[in-house]
Chains A and B, each alone.
Chain A
Amino acid sequence: MKAGAPEKLIIDGKRLDGRGIEEMREIEARIGVLKRADGSAFFRFGNTRALAAVYGPRQLHPKYLQDPKKALIRCKYNMAPFSSYERIRPGVSRRSIEISKILTEALSQVVFVEEFPRAAIDVFVEIIQADASTRCAALNAAALALADAGIPMKDLVSSCAAGKVDGEIILDVAGLEDNYGEVDMPVAMTPRDENIVLLQIDGILTKEEFEKALDLARKGCKKVYEAQKAALKEKYIEVDEDE
């Protein structure tokens, strides 16, 4: 165990912040939070806050990147310098480049890219405050911002993290669990078809533990989806749901 770690992260089935093993932090989702962007959204898991903006479809430069058959989705993830206790140096890092790539790939699954040949759809995500699961919050905000921009999509993307702390499989890793837990496992799914569009694991899990974690993350993604749907409905109240 690392230095400075608390003795236990789970005491009598309760986590340090009082949550149960399968309990998520408070979720907040809002859309249309920025005026200049074509679409925008805010998503929060407890103290983790993400803000996403969509610009496009718009002309894609440089031209050689243009695809005559479809639009190119470009997602950029960035952390505000003040989002963490240790100031984040502005600019790209290896971490932000990797996260941007996997977010781009996850979003490319759900957008009808064939509708906009040669175009670019830019999705920018700013992490305003980081307390674990920033990539999940980023993706949840990004999917909502795309929907807010009116971009045709097959489905939303809903994301949350499962993990392993003190030997227990838990949902929505946060706070000290992120620093001293054993496993962090962000998952993103298309909520209707339950296709997994993002999956990462940092840490050791048995096959059984993994299956349990995946099942838990699935439940978490459903909860995220409900919050996303509610945010969309709040703004577009006149739209009937066909489910």
Chain B
Amino acid sequence: MRLIFNYLRPYYGRMMFGLLVKIAGTVAELFMPWILAHILDVVIPEVKISGQMYEVLFWGGMMLLMAVLARNFNVYANRKAAEVSKNTIYILRNDLFQKILHLSGKQTDKVGIPSLISRMTTDTYNIHHAINMMQRMGVRAPMIILGGLVITATLDPVLTLVLAGTLPFVVAVVVLISQKGIPLYGTVQQAIDVMVRTLREDVAGIRVIKALSKKEYEKKRFEKANEEVSEKELTASGVMAASGPLLNFCLNMGLTMVVIVGAYRVNAGLTQAGKIVAFLTYFTMILNAVIAINRIFVMFSKASASSERIGMVLDAEDDLVVEQFRGFPGQTRLEFRNVSFSYQGEKDKLCLEQVSFSLKPGENLGIIGATGSGKTTLLNLLMRFYDVTEGEILVDGRNIKTYPLQELRRKFGVAFQNDVVFHDTVRENISFGRELSEKQIIEAAKQAKAYEFIMEKEGGLEHVAAIKGADFSGGQKQRLLVARALAGDTEFLLLDDASSALDYKTDAYIRKQIREQKQGTTMISVAQRISSVMQSDLILVLEDGKIIGKGTHEELLLTCETYREIYKSQMGQELSA
């Protein structure tokens, strides 16, 4: 919650003013039953003597005035509350979004993408709702209870004690039931998770289920999960069902007590019957306020969980520090010096171990190896999504830690393995917020062999891609991403398995285009297919994070057993075709 208050701080003044207005409105409302009692107990006996009716009308007018004041104050305060929460959340969301965009790979891994999304959407929404409602009801409800007690105390302190006496019972009911009920809803959620997982599995595996005629089996499996949810929900809602009737009962018992105690007080001449009427009205108001507080309680606990989740992201410290550069730029284009890396930062779980190689200007690099051999990790380090655990990486002879982060990354054009096509125009997907000329975009599309299918879409470059690029085939998506990587004319071009969905012919065509037309660019290709890397000047064969082969295609065929094996399995027996 500290986080929320920090964000509210700039608005304290405005919020305070709004709250004061709210209090004024609530007080006005609280006066109404008091006037009611006053009319019945004081004014009427007077009028009976004086016969001057206008006094009743005067106090009636006062009641009306209070009603009008209450309405206008409340409307004003609600709008202020909406304004404050709007501004607060606007800034909170911007900050959170910015922070998320700047998280390092390690920090992102820790939280996870889906969780980041829900922090950005559901959690900020919960907080928005809570800030808004707490300003509206959080003041009003306690004010009604407190104010109600104060005003009734001026009417008759003893009856007030009776009224206050029921409150501990009410609090006990609320606390006990939520203490029992809320954890029960936790188990309901777990059961639901299991059920949805079963459902998701079956939707994904529908072909297998049908092929093996397992419909009935799956129906039973789902039924079990379904049963579990129902059972858990029955228990939980059974507990919660008691809260309404119990609360009502407590308050109504208090009400009866007021009548009885009131009777003794009136009999003893200590109070008047009209006051009992007023008390009953206050009672109803307080009952509603208690119910409102109950709801605020739930909202508050939700919001504070949300704010904790958000705070965790916002408080993450920048862990990719830029260092001072000393010395002179060197001759090599790219160099890895004894680089080791572990995602957990533990030395015994290395994903890359003692990786060293260097690349001269004008040379291209190919990396081949199994899944989990560390290919993508190598690229992640090069672009500094993560910092190396040991060793150094140099670009143009300068440690990459000495480049400002954005300056370093601007040197690269990248197409990742499972990358995103944004729900935006094709043009925007290629230019991606960079100021690129029409010529650059079209040229890149042509080199990536994407121009033809783009032009077949309605609107061509202005065609808006469906969500997750669903209106493009896998191969088309990859070509769009390659076009994006090519369009910037960057110093480096990183293709991380960017052509796995393309047929050999298209893949070969695109690579030829790049080699011929982007001669100043250093191309780094990561692939599972030999044909995608065999033309590189230097090929690294990775296995379990170690380089087990280094050289050109021809050299590797002679020196590296694994490389030869891969070659055989992919190209058939003929070693020369």
Partners in one complex: no
A residues in contact (CB < 8 Å) with B: none
B residues in contact (CB < 8 Å) with A: none
